[in-house]
A and B are shown apart, each in its own frame.
Chain A
Amino acid sequence: METLQDTATKKATTSSPTFKGSGSQMLLNALIEEGVSTIFGYPGGAIMPIYDALYDYADKLEHILVRHEQGGIHAAQGYARTSGRVGVCFATSGPGATNLVTGLADAQIDSTPLVCITGQVFAHLLGTDAFQETDVINITTPVTKWNYQITDAKEIPEVLAKAFYIAKSGRPGPVLIDITKNAQLQIEEFEAYVKCNHIRSYRPKPKVRVEFIEEAAKLINSAQKPFVLFGQGVILGTAEKEFKAFIEKTGIPAAWTIMGEGAIPTDHPLNVGMLGMHGNYGPNVLTNECDVLIAIGMRFDDRVTGRLDKYAKQAKVVHLDIDPAEIDKNVKAEVGVWGDCKETLPILTNLVNENKHEAWVAQFRDYNQQEIDQVITPELYPTGEEMTMGEVLRNINEICGGDAVIVTDVGQHQMVACRYAKFNNTRSNVTSGGLGTMGFGLPAAIGAKYGAPNKTVIAIIGDGGFQMTPQELGTIMQFGAAVKILILNNQFLGMVRQWQQLFHDKRYSFVNITSPDFVALAKSYYIEASKVDQRAELKKALETMINHEGSYLLEVMVGKENNVFPMVPQGCSVSEIRLK
């Protein structure tokens, strides 16, 4: 006898216009309709009907069983960042759902498109403090672009369609859909799935108005020292080509936020480097000398601007952003250009004059030379006995040539990686920018590998951050994600230690962190591993790691008390950047 489920599954596979089955099956059908192929998740009581339905969808939906829901959502983030698609994760109610909160906050502040499905107790139990009941909608409201609780299966198709549309359109962000267990079990006859492309109360893209682009072009054409700052908006808008065309025509030097890194290749002649607290010397100093500042898809985070009342006060600011709330939020714009930069940049490029700005670009080169002499060369080619993080990155660049995906955790190694890693391609730098989530690196790298299966994915993680989510080694073990894990071990919580050294009289308060035997730990998960503490062995060890077929963990012992420079101390202007 054919069960109801069998019938339903068959119907789904033939994508017939109507479908009779459970809410859970409808949910999975909706995911397939939205082009989802990979789900990161963890089962539990309140999401069991969905997992039961998933049992029959193994040929269409790959489910990666993570070891903790935080790992699941970070993996979904990593997936979204490298693939450009919506990341999907499943979690159960209560603790499963609350474990998503860090990832949601991270995705919200870094504009990462996610759809998270959480199970919820039966609708009739809502508000009764039932087992594993949590008010996940209210907990996640500040950290989601949109969220919704489904209590009736009939809502599933429409809500899922909205969820995907909202997550990926406009300024992307995380969406959480909470589904009560009764709705998952409820049998319904569903209409054919219709994708959403319009919500009357939601304008993902403001209308492009050419008159403001004309004003922006006028300012740019009259500028003597124009300077472009770009962020992740260029990548999220898949406007890398349009952006490159703009800077190449105008000859304007361009610097990136860490979220925008890789939108143009590292060695592009107009790529003048990184902005912000640990950014490059020239871009920071010259922010306060340019006459027109053109910000594209970036939001003037405080780590980028330093002290705001001393930030680019001499400059007229042109701000291109898809999110109207970003314009004038931190830095007042002379001309605000609302819109998707994929649409606005070509219009702007058309209106601006060809230019070279050679003397001005040379100023960046002069500052760069000072930085090379005082900071970069000693970091990349150290003469002391201890290894530096910078030389590890230099070796990676030499081996991978800029084609690897680099995933980082948070801290000193993150700043060093962003500063020195070479990128030829967009969507290659995966880092927790806005939230600064330690523990992001390892799970995000798993997702990044699923999102970019043909690329070498290297997770660069500190000894502290690794110990926040090491359980995801289990996920790597079970599913064979070929992630290269590089632990840069300085035996300290290095970034905090650096601040304590510089600003707290070297009072090292709880930054001295001990580590387990990482090699033995990896091997206990059947992951190949090794450790180096000698420079002579470094390159070979890195080559072994990168050329290894599967996943591999390499621990590199680096100097204990190295600092990341340059640095804009907190509360200082960007032009007060210190080289030491």
Chain B
Amino acid sequence: MSNDTIKYIESQPDYEGKQDFTITVYAEDRVGLLNRISIIFSKRKINIDSLNTSPSEIAGIHRFTILINESYEVVRKLARQIEKQVEVLKVYFNTDSEVIWQELALYKVSTEEITEKVTVERLLRQYGATAVVIRKDYTVFSVTGHKEETDALVKALEPYELIEFVRSARVAIIKDSAGFHEKLKEFEAEEPGEERVENEFLDKGEKIFTM
């Protein structure tokens, strides 16, 4: 454990209070695994803010992105419980500053309303919105960004009869990750690898072994 790591850990955001954490789970693609993971949260009466399942950079390996608002301590325990599941390969958890993330939102508004009362152009420019469909009766805009941004457009559209709104789950890329290709090779080896830099938070910060 280098001193740099200790500093890095110490400079982490407040561990006590709740904050947003993005949990990234690499797992086998198997029926029922989503249930196995979600009950780890519901057993502790913890709400999942958003959950996305998608393929990962490796064929056959699934990537869950789970957003929750909890304290560091709770998230660490949850991550270990998830990682304990037989079909889960690896779990990472990161604060907002450690990930690049996006959410996609769709807005359906009355075309008539919007053309009469607000200039479409202003909306498109101000919120980075894209018109996905324009029909006589309604228009669908999409915005990609953070929750605050997509929420802001909801507010802006409220006076103009927002007919439907939906936002996708968060998807996130971990800044400090080299992807899963190398890691997978270690997992496919019969024995755990020698050098295994895992979640820095987890093992270096607290003198704990890595799996």
Contacts and interface: CB of A to CB of B under 8 A. Distances in A.
Interface residues of A, number: 34
Given A200-B187, A201-B87, A325-B81, A141 B36 contact: yes
A336 B209 contact: yes
Interface string A159-200: 000000010000000000000000000000000000001111
Contacts of A212: 207-209
A329 B77 contact: yes
Interface stretch (B109-117, B130-138, B148-156, B188-196): B188-196
Interface in B74-114: 76-77, 80-81, 83-84, 86-89
A203 B211 contact: yes
Nearest to A166: B86
Nearest to B87: A201
Interface residues of B, number: 31
A147 B30 CA distance: 11
A141 B39 contact: yes
A207 interface: yes
Contacts of A324: 80, 83-84, 208-209, 211
A202 interface: yes
Contacts of B39: 141-142
Interface string A381-417: 0000000000000000000000000000000000000
A201 B89 CA distance: 4
Contacts of B27: 201
A146 B86 CA distance: 7
A327 B79 CA distance: 13
Interface string B183-204: 0100110111100100000000
A300 interface: no
A199 B81 CA distance: 18
B93 to A, nearest CB: 14
Contact of A207 (B89, B184, B207, B211): B211
Contacts of B89: 200-201
Best-buried of B39, B89, B211 by chain A (most CB within 10 Å):
B211
A336 B192 CA distance: 18
Given A141-B36, A324-B83, A325-B83, A338 B88 contact: no
Given A198-B190, A201-B187, 10 more contacts: A142-B39, A142-B43, A145-B86, A199-B86, A206-B209, A207-B192, A328-B206, A329-B80, A335-B207, A336-B208
The 10 closest A-B pairs by CB, nearest first: A338-B209, A325-B80, A207-B192, A201-B89, A336-B208, A200-B187, A146-B86, A206-B211, A203-B211, A202-B86
Interface of A: 137-138, 141-142, 145-147, 166, 197-203, 206-209, 212, 215, 323-325, 327-329, 333-339
